[in-house]
Amino acid sequence: MQSQLGGGDAANIRRSVLPLSVLLALESGPSYAYELARRLRGVHDLVSAENDLYGCLKRLRSRGFLAFEWKESAKGPPQKLYRLTEKGLDHLAVLIEVWGELRAALLQMRHVGTNDAARP
């Protein structure tokens, strides 16, 4: 489904779910930032600017949710390979729960709003 939101609104929503998206992407295993960017762009364009992703990775790492190790590259300088920490896995579980609650509340509001509009 293509978004009908204005560019700013859609970008703000995407930025707000970026930490959850990064943690979800890393749940399946370690990844380099460029791989994360490619994966997230492929899912409803969740990363619109790489600066957003790098800032998010830095914030998640500073909170102890991610760790990285330097890996040698045959094509250039060493690269950071990011992975979830135990604390990150725990935080991901909380975010998934909160996301489910928010989604349910929004759907309930939409449903209530539809029923209210049908009343005389």
Residue 2 domain flag: no
- 21 located within any domain: yes
User: pLDDT tens digit string along 96-110?
Assistant: 999 999 999 999 998
At residue 12 the predicted structure's pLDDT band, cuts being 50, 70 and 90, is confident
Is residue 93 assigned to a domain? Answer: yes
User: pLDDT digits over 35-80, tens only?
Assistant: 999 998 888 777 767 788 999 999 999 999 999 999 998 889 999 9
Alpha carbons 55 and 102: distance in angstroms, whole number: 25
CATH number at residue 70: 1.10.10.10
pLDDT of residue 1: 43
Domain count, the chain: 1
Report how far residue 29's alpha carbon sits from residue 118's, in angstroms, rounded to the nearest whole number. 48
Structural domain for 109, as ranges: 7-118
pLDDT band at 6 (very low <50, low <70, confident <90, very high): low
